[in-house]
Amino acid sequence: MRSVRKVLAVAAVAAGVVGALGVAVAAQSTDAVAAPNFQVPFKCNVTVTAATFSGHNPPNSVDFQKSGITGMPVLASASGTVSRVDNEGSDSYGRWIEINHGGGYTTRYAHLSAQQVSDGQRVAVGQQIGKAGATGGVSGPHLHYEQRRGGTTRAAKLDGRAVPYPGHTSFTSHNKCGGGGSNPHSPGEVCGSGFSVIDSHALGKSGRVYLLYNASSKKNCVTTLKSTSLGKKSPVSATLQVKGGAKASDSGSFAYYAGPVSRAAAAKCVKWGGSVGSKSYTSPYEHCG
């Protein structure tokens, strides 16, 4: 169910239209700007398949698939301003929406059966923007999704987890879970430039602990992000132990996250974990590369 037959042409036209509309997405500076903590664009606890293909157009697009997806609410995967609401009819994207998240980052949501926002509207993460469908050039219903930076489609990350390319991978939405919205911070923002998420573990609905790695510095980093009581200080912790060394931790009452906890771990196994309130996780020694 590859989603778009003429997306490359549409993308080229869209780039010109964006400039004409004065929405300076591509013109924004993208230097040293952390990506938003993009969420799965469906309601909390909905599980979908993120389908990616080697010949997908544009590259790095994601097709979210699920039985009965037609009419399912589509949510903003991060806060921002709606920069385009368009309808290509029975071709290409069909009904689609673009959101500008600042710092050069945008997302696109295509093949919608309904669009429920308008150009220039400010939307919050987890806000419903439309409904999934099968409009445009498709062979079946699904949600075509893109994460872009500076106008170029980038490899997607969802809740700090990289989407595999190519593949069919299950993702469960934590978008606006627990009634507290989504954490405005991302694991990469907390740990810093060069770190990428290599593993994570849910702490119920309270939060998620992330393990990251920097291939240049050979360091691991752990951070725990809350999903509840956001903005209010509550107990959170993050721990990291390189095999043969002492355990390092950051714990206390924090509004959004614990960490970063970082240690050099080239060719060594690590034990990592964290907690939010009474929910905790500690891994075995693993990731030994």
For residue 73, say if its preceding peptide bond is cis, omega within 30 degrees of 0.
no
Q: Which two tokens stand for residue 260?
A: 């970063």
Taking the C-alpha atoms of residue 130 and residue 52, their distance in angstroms, rounded to an integer, is 22
Q: Domains of the chain by range and CATH?
A: 7-164 (2.70.70.10), 183-282 (no CATH)
- Of the candidates 61, 17, 44, which has an alpha carbon nearest to the alpha carbon of residue 175? 44
| Per-residue pLDDT at 24 exceeds 50 | no
Residue 237 and residue 206 in contact, taking contact as beta carbons nearer than 8 Å: no
Q: What is the pLDDT of residue 18?
A: 36
Mean pLDDT of 111-123: 95
What's the pLDDT tens digit per position in 251-270? 999 998 999 999 998 889 99
Q: Supply the pTM of this predicted model.
A: 0.59
Q: How many CA atoms lie within 13 A of 181 on its CB side?
A: 16
DSSP string, 219-254: EEEEEEEESSSTTS-EEEEEEEEETTS--EEEEEEE
The chain-wide mean pLDDT, for the chain, equals: 86
- Of the candidates 151, 138, 128, which has an alpha carbon nearest to the alpha carbon of residue 41? 128
| Per-residue pLDDT at 173 exceeds 50 | yes
C-beta atoms surrounding 67 within 10 Å:
7
Q: What is the pLDDT of residue 193?
A: 80
